[in-house]
Structure 1
Amino acid sequence: MRPFRQMTILVAFLLLAAGTAAEPAVAPGYRLESFSKAGAAFGGLSRDGEALLVTDLASGRLYRRMPAGDFEAFGPVFPHGLDVIGDPTGPYRVLRVGDKLVVAQGWTPADTDAGPYDHALIAIDGAGRRRVINADFWNPFDLVTAVDGYYVVDSARNSVERLGTDGRKQTLMSFRRLRQQAAALETLSPTEFNKGSYEVDAVPTGITLRQGRLYVALFGGFPFLAGAGKVVSIPEKSEGAELRPEVDGLNAPVAVAFDKKGRMLILEHGVYDQQQGFRATSGRLLLFDNATGSRETVVDGLTRPVSVLVWDDRQIVISELGGTLLFLAREEGR
């Protein structure tokens, strides 16, 4: 097995056409609406004024959804296709930063030669012209803006990188491998996992910045054990600082955010099955309130969710790899 096979987050996206799943269930006090596009594989979500920006791995396009519901592709076509493992790759994330858009672009598709816009952070100006900010990544899965640049998660290198506005890159944190107990692995292979413990790559995925700390979701590498994922935090400005555990016992967390009340939202990609891949309807959106210590499942029954965006005080948006956007509205008092 190649080393990056355990590191890659994209194996989570196997079996795109897993069949029609039931509607997700929402907690009391919430209501859910959805929008779907056949053949799409939605990834990143962000806000651009009153418009919603969405990335599509299936077409390599960026989409803009306007308040009236218009949904149109724009800008250049980014490299897209399947990687060497057979998973989709393309523009993972997009953010509005001043007068430009910044895109985190994934692996090189397996059936093409490496190009200048692969595994890179890319800026797009108002005329649609692309400029590579930095291409020294393996798999830049998510990013967040800072005063002096960007923080980028490199899922394959198991690191968080700080990128200056001039494109210079510095590793802020390299995550150690996560230790798993052999008892949890014996059902997969009693002969292979027969030691006292087993280590997997951390596979950092989602990242967000709050009050001087970077919060990072650790997906956990193959065999993607249930409950093996974590969310940790590190100081924004301190290289080599010790990470602080925030939440553990998660099922492949893929994104993390905070709502307007300061509560942490964690998006779980789901539970992995060795024959089927990630099970349909096993993804969840969880809400953690540090003030009260409460933990709530806000949305259950998601199928391969990828991103969560806090739109405003009342609405949250979730993307699914199957080409669905979910709009979650809170009622008063939530």
Structure 2
Amino acid sequence: MRPLLSLIAAGIVLLARSAGAEPLAAADYRLETVHVPGAAFAGLARDGGSLLVTDLAGGRLYRRDEDGRLAAFGPVFPHGLDVTGDPTGPYRAARVGAEFIVAQGWTPANVDENPLDHSLVAVDGAGKVRVISRDFWNPFDFVAAEQGFYVVDAARNSVELVAPDGRKKTLISFRRLPQAEGALQSLSPTEFEAGNGYEVDAVPTGIALHKGRLYVALFGGFPFLAGAGKIISIPATGASEPRLEADGLNAPVAIAFAGTGAMLVLEHGTYDQRQGFAKGSGRLLRIEAAAKSRATIVSGLTRPVSVLVWDERQLRVSDLAGNLHLLRRE
């Protein structure tokens, strides 16, 4: 028998419901979870009537059609584990015109560098690859616009504007984030003494363009303190100081906007020094700025990566355990 992923790549196998406990959706949402063993789903985008998915475990792009089947296409991108043990590969992808644009992560550990590493790449309908720019350290997400692509470089702590011809301009470089005095004492009372200041890298991850402003999720660097994440925004021109949109977040990793204008924020979860990101600690939040309210759409997620607004009533969420969470508002 052929391996499951090779059957999926051939478009043969229907996805099955994931085994075990399911995440919990809000009362006005119906949740269905489908699971592919061995996959590590990351980027989500719409491609006509199909769902575009990136898989870090195999370095592939997939389409999920209305019948629920996944079919691989395009090249096999460099993939593997990075120096922290997390998967790296094609983080995000989106159809832009006749091409698919891919944000490809940094070089996997213990692997020779590849010409596609840490790059923004275009793939045409025949599968031919064109590198737009390799002038990144770790391009984690992007959004397409008329003037090019807004790309977050998670390792450089910056947002870059990349023209279609590859010319690049830094819109903003994020300062390190100060942590509350004594916040780290629960990790190490002797190393992090009360009264000592501490800062972490901003680590920008998700990005969204809404009403002329770029919204950026600041994940916050190691040790990934609970409540240390933020959402900021800047004009798409980058010509002003960032504006705080939300704080007190647990490692926010992706942003989207609903048709009503509400901001959807996907939290990767809370971190434990011994076990890593805690199972079931991820959440999808709905934040209404005007009403100053927050509501949880779905909780109990484990290492989620992307959120996609499919239409007025449906959302999609991916995670590194090979799950696609399909949410429908009743």
Interval of TM-score (by shorter of Structure 1 and Structure 2)? over 0.9
1:277 Cα offset (Å): 0.2
Residue number in structure 2 paired with 1:64? 63
Residue number in structure 1 paired with 2:10? none
**AA at the equivalent of 1:62:** L
1:86-135 per-position Cα deviation (integer Å, ceiling 9, x unaligned): 22110000010000000000011122211110000000011000010000
**AA at the equivalent of 1:88:** P
**AA at the equivalent of 1:91:** P
Aligned 1:224-235 pairs, distance under 5 A: 224-235=224-235
Residue number in structure 1 paired with 2:97? 98
CA distance in 2, matches of 1:34, 1:73: 20
Residue number in structure 1 paired with 2:196? 196
Residue number in structure 2 paired with 1:155? 154
CA distance in 2, matches of 1:279, 1:179: 23
What number of residue pairs does the alignment pair up? 312
Residue number in structure 1 paired with 2:3? none
Aligned 1:25-36 pairs, distance under 5 A: 25-36=24-35
1:139-168 per-position Cα deviation (integer Å, ceiling 9, x unaligned): 000000111100000000000000011110
- 8 A contact 2:118–2:139 mirrored in 1: yes
1:291 Cα offset (Å): 2.8
Aligned 1:130-279 pairs, distance under 5 A: 130-194=129-193, 195-239=195-239, 241-279=240-278
**AA at the equivalent of 1:73:** A
1:41 Cα offset (Å): 0.2
- 8 A contact 1:182–1:193 mirrored in 2: no
**AA at the equivalent of 1:193:** F
1:9-37 per-position Cα deviation (integer Å, ceiling 9, x unaligned): xxxxxxxxxxx762111111110011110
1:191 Cα offset (Å): 2.4
1:154-188 per-position Cα deviation (integer Å, ceiling 9, x unaligned): 00000000001111011000000000023110111
**AA at the equivalent of 2:316:** V
Q: Which has the higher contact order (CA 8 A, sep 6+)?
A: 1
CA distance in 2, matches of 1:297, 1:84: 33
Q: Is 1:76 matched up with 2:72?
A: no
- 8 A contact 1:106–1:120 mirrored in 2: yes
- 8 A contact 1:93–1:105 mirrored in 2: yes
Moved more, 69-78 or 261-270: 69-78
- 8 A contact 1:103–1:121 mirrored in 2: yes
Scaled by the length of structure 2, what TM-score is found? Answer: 0.93
CA distance in 2, matches of 1:254, 1:158: 14
CA distance in 1, matches of 2:238, 2:307: 27
1:41-85 per-position Cα deviation (integer Å, ceiling 9, x unaligned): 000000010010000000000110001212111111000011223
**AA at the equivalent of 1:117:** L
What SS class does the counterpart of residue 182 from structure 2 fall into?
helix
Residue number in structure 1 paired with 2:8? none
Aligned 1:97-116 pairs, distance under 5 A: 97-116=96-115
Residue number in structure 2 paired with 1:8? none
- 8 A contact 2:43–2:318 mirrored in 1: yes
1:248-288 per-position Cα deviation (integer Å, ceiling 9, x unaligned): 00000000110011000000000100100000000000001
CA distance in 1, matches of 2:86, 2:317: 21
Report percent identity of matched pairs.
66
Scaled by the length of structure 1, what TM-score is found? Answer: 0.91
Residue number in structure 2 paired with 1:121? 120
CA distance in 2, matches of 1:109, 1:292: 44
Moved more, 80-89 or 259-268: 80-89
- 8 A contact 2:22–2:33 mirrored in 1: no
